Amino acid sequence: MRHLLTAEELDPDTASAVLDTADMLKSTLLGREVRKLPTLRGRTVITMFYENSTRTRVSFEVAGKWMSADVVNVSASGSSTGKGESLRDTARTLSAAGADCVILRHQASGAPQRIAEWLDPTGTRVVNAGDGMHEHPTQALLDAATLRERLGDVAGRRIGIVGDLLHSRVARSNTHLLRTLGAEVVLIAPPTLVPEGVRNWGVEVTHDLDSQLPGLDAVMALRVQAERMHGGFFPTEREYSVGYGLNAARTAKLPEHAVVLHPGPMMRGTEIAPRVADSARAAVEQQVRNGVHVRMAVLYHLLAGEENTA
Amino acid sequence: MNGVERTGRARLLLRSVRPYGAKEPVDLLVDEDGRIADIGELEETDATELLHADGAVALPGFVDLHTHLREPGREDAETIESGSVAAALGGYTAVFAMANTDPVADNAVVVEHVRRRGEEVGLVEVHPVGAVTAGLGGQRLAEIGSMARSAARVRLFSDDGNCVHDPLLMRRALEYTSAFGGVVAQHAQDPGLTPGAQAHEGANAARLGLAGWPAPAEESVVARDCMLAGHTGGSLHVCHVSSAGTAEFLRWWRSRPGGGSVSAEVTPHHLLLTDELLEGYDPRYKVNPPLRTDEDVRALREALAEGVVDCVATDHAPHAEQDKDCEWSAARPGMLGLQTALSVLVHTMLRPGLLDWRDLARVLSEAPARIAGLDDQGRPLEVGEPANITLVDPHAEWTVRGEELAGTALNTPFEGMTLPARVTATISRGRVTARDGRAQPYGGVLR
């Protein structure tokens, strides 16, 4: 793996290898008093976040630190970007300053691809930490890790993704990765939040959540972003919640073993009821915990993997 | 000598040209007044300049209804001079410079400046397009009458880049311009349907996570404007038709009686490229309206072949390097087009048999000249007619390199593509303005 830009580009072997490494790291660290591995000592990892984020940035930072990498966090507002520097110059500057890996969150879809092209001659690795409405591959990996833990295996399972499919990078990455790992994916949203052209994704699309629930092994609720509520995609937050919110009555229709996922941050009472979010079915905190191990695994494969020693 | 008297002294002799791709080559003599003096097998003449054309195809000089020359305001991307060079090298003898400059060409002063700079450069007729609304703001009409009466004699009006989306304002523009035979060239894009739009709304945009530009945002405005043109008696020109649906609507509308004066153009890039190219997020493929699908490309080729779409216009849109060498959403839309139009037309229309050379003369020269009301352009290659002539080597093959094109901008979407046919010489009013890849002004010297 040279960069991690999309979940779409991950083949089954690579994806499984990353997940296996995450499992291994997790069990290695389990019960240790000092959670620190020497693997990436002397490596420099820079996170560059052009959008606000708490969990993803912190998760990458912790992942880097637990592997003894030097982690530097840069935010767009406190950098030269605020002075009008181009993305290309910023990326090259971080690379020249010694970054072995740049972790990028950017509001423009495709920005990580561009940076990877620009930095290719330098050898600096690029990880996409979420680009616009495009992809968020480490989120998909941590969701897959969580599903593996809860369900044993992802292959052959039927996973529902509910909510703002149109604008969601989480939905895109999860759709690709879950299919790669052999799961059946069903996308559930009102028609206004389904992208034109979704039929090519090789998934089922439906507007009716309730009829799907009894057949799902897991259901993932996507966040309803505040700005969408005023975009005319649905009449009111309440109506959305009535049709697509995961409440206790709905989750009762799920099979006993089924898992509820949410990438966070949660809008309690809108796409997920508090009682569901805090129930034993919900894997929200487990997702966050796995996020660290998955990101450790990604850094490991990019910076310490076999391809990297060549 | 065909019984027509020469009006002036012989000046330029073109040896061995094939008008409209005729099988047998002829010689063509141009007089001091810039008119065609004789055509046939000509012996020694008193011409002072000789051009061996080696059987090149001769077409009437090309006319581009849609060019962005960026001057005044963005001379770092293109100037009237560098754009004129590109036009001459591309076979053009007249170009229409769009109004979205800075300051906007919405008054007599700016349009006269553009016209005069074009004359000073002396490579191609530069006709300024006037803005429809003040400052391209879409709120109130620009001083259309003043621009029409100015020395620039503006006849084509457009807010291109923006759509005149207010229906009442569009109606008024069509009515007002009809007083002096003006034409409103509309960039059809309902802004309410395209907030933040980045790419053709379809499977590729969905996968790449780019906000969609749905075809109905163009089609609905075209339909509305056609109805307004029919109702008011104004003249509408539809810029850069990009969707199969627009072509289908125009086919239907233009087959009806009482449809009013409606014309349409298509760009070379919409005849060849699709949104599959967006895969790597390279902003050289970002353009407005966006590249669409194979089905749209096919429909646009058919529409051009049938005459449902009248002509080809380049929408030549040079951009400074920093405006393209960035992330997709930050990049400006637009593509270079003047020097590649002929080759793309040969590749997409002539080679597949959809058009022949005579048709190319129609879509690249005659139809745009007629739409814009230019009397001296788009004329037949006949004795007594103005000598605006483009010579084409139909057997040439060349690989497009942005670095090798005129001007500082590099944003050709055809980078690295090998295309057929090449303009070998351009003759504007009897003067050679480009030959074998070099522009030569007839007035001053290029800086």
User: How confident is the model over B19-25, as a mean pLDDT?
Assistant: 97
The CA distance from A10 to A2, in Å, is 11
pLDDT in tens, B77-131: 999 999 999 999 999 999 999 999 999 999 999 999 999 999 999 999 999 999 9
The architecture of the domain spanning A137-283 is: 3-Layer(aba) Sandwich (3.40)
Q: Rounded to an integer, what is the distance from CA B143 to the centroid of its chain?
A: 24
pLDDT of residue B371: 98
Q: Name the one residue in this structure whose structure tokens are 């001296």.
A: B376
- HEC profile for A80-143? HHHHCCCHHHHHHHHHHCCCCEEEEEECCCCHHHHHHHHHHHHCCEEEEEEECCCECHHHHHHH
Q: Do the beta carbons of residue A50 and residue A114 sit within 8 Å?
A: no
Contact A132 B281 (CB under 8 A): no
pLDDT of residue B4: 41
Q: Which residues of B are catalytic?
A: 315
Query: How close is the nearest chain A Cα to the Cα of B63, in Å?
Result: 37
pLDDT of residue B253: 97
Contact A88 B326 (CB under 8 A): yes
pLDDT by position in tens, chain A (length 310)? 899 999 999 999 999 999 999 999 999 998 888 889 999 999 999 999 999 888 999 999 999 999 999 999 998 776 666 678 899 999 999 999 999 999 999 999 999 999 999 999 999 999 999 999 999 999 999 999 999 999 999 999 999 999 999 999 999 999 999 999 999 999 999 999 999 988 888 899 999 999 999 999 999 999 988 776 667 899 988 999 999 999 999 999 999 999 999 999 999 999 999 999 999 999 999 999 999 999 999 999 999 975 544 3
Instruction: Count the helix, strand and coil residues of chain B and give each as a percent rounded to the nearest 5.
Output: 35, 25, 45
DSSP string, A198-228: GGGGSSEEES-STTTGGG-SEEEEPP--HHH
pLDDT of residue B1: 38
Extract the tokens encoding B21: 């791709």
Query: How close is the nearest chain B Cα to the Cα of A262, in Å?
Result: 20
Q: Which chain B residues are closer than 8 Å to A133 by Cβ? A: 209-211
pLDDT in tens, B248-293: 999 999 999 988 899 999 999 999 999 999 999 999 999 999 999 9
Radius of gyration of chain B (CA): 21
The CA distance from A14 to B119, in Å, is 63
Q: Which chain B residues are closer than 8 Å to A87 by Cβ? A: 326-327, 330
pLDDT of residue B440: 86
Q: Do the beta carbons of residue B276 and residue B199 sit within 8 Å?
A: no
Instruction: Give the C-alpha distances (Å, rounded to integers) separating A6 from A112, A128, B204, B422.
Output: 9, 7, 15, 41
pLDDT of residue B43: 83
pLDDT in tens, A231-249: 789 998 899 999 999 999 9
Contact B328 A198 (CB under 8 A): no
pLDDT of residue A180: 98
Contact A87 B203 (CB under 8 A): no
The CA distance from B242 to B245, in Å, is 9
pLDDT in tens, A77-106: 766 666 788 999 999 999 999 999 999 999
- What residue ranges of chain A are covered by domains with CATH 3.40.50.1370? 12-136+288-309, 137-283
Nearest to A199 by CA among A182, A231, A175: A175
Nearest to B395 by CA among B351, B427, B359, B433: B351
- Mean pLDDT, chain B, whole residue set: 95
Nearest to A165 by CA among A199, A144, A190: A190
Judged by CB atoms within 8 Å, which residues 42-71 of A form the interface with B? none
| Whether the predicted pLDDT of B7 surpasses 70 | no
Q: Kindly identify which residue of chain B lies nearest to residue A91, measuring between CA atoms.
A: B326
Q: Which residues pair with B326 in a beta bridge?
A: none
Interface of chain B toward chain A, CB-CB under 8 angstroms: 198, 201-212, 214, 280-281, 322, 325-330
Q: Which chain B residues are closer than 8 Å to A131 by Cβ? A: 209
Contact B198 A134 (CB under 8 A): no
Judged by CB atoms within 8 Å, which residues 188-247 of A form the interface with B? 195-201
pLDDT of residue B442: 65
Q: Which chain A residues are closer than 8 Å to B192 by Cβ? A: none
Number of helical H runs and strand E runs in chain B:
12, 18
Judged by CB atoms within 8 Å, which residues 264-293 of A form the interface with B? none
Q: Which chain A residues are closer than 8 Å to B209 by Cβ? A: 109-110, 131-135, 169, 172
Contact A86 B325 (CB under 8 A): yes
Q: Which chain B residues are closer than 8 Å to A107 by Cβ? A: 329
Extract the tokens encoding A301: 């494969």
Q: Kindly identify which residue of chain A lies nearest to residue B215, measuring between CA atoms.
A: A196
Q: Name the one residue in this structure whose structure tokens are 């966070």.
A: A264
Contact B328 A114 (CB under 8 A): yes
Structural domains of chain B, with CATH: 61-372 (3.20.20.140)
Contact A111 B210 (CB under 8 A): no
Note the ipTM here: 0.93
Q: Rounded to an integer, what is the distance from CA A97 to the centroid of its chain?
A: 28
A85 touches chain B (CB under 8 A): no
Nearest to A198 among B204, B206, B328 (CB): B206
What CATH code is assigned to A12-136+288-309? 3.40.50.1370
The CA distance from A243 to A247, in Å, is 10
Q: Do β-strands A125-131 and A184-188 pair in parallel, antiparallel, or remain unpaired? A: unpaired
User: How confident is the model over B321-342, as a mean pLDDT?
Assistant: 97
User: In degrees to the nearest 10, what's the CA dihedral of A138, A143, A146, A152?
Assistant: -110
Instruction: Give the C-alpha distances (Å, rounded to integers) separating B221 from B211, B215, B229.
Output: 20, 10, 12
The CA distance from B101 to B128, in Å, is 11
What is the phi-psi region of residue B278: left when phi exceeds 0, alpha when psi lies from -120 to 50, beta otherwise? alpha
pLDDT in tens, B31-83: 999 999 999 999 877 888 999 999 999 999 999 999 999 999 999 999 999 99
| Whether the predicted pLDDT of B5 surpasses 50 | no
Q: Kindly identify which residue of chain B lies nearest to residue A131, measuring between CA atoms.
A: B209
The CA distance from A207 to A225, in Å, is 19
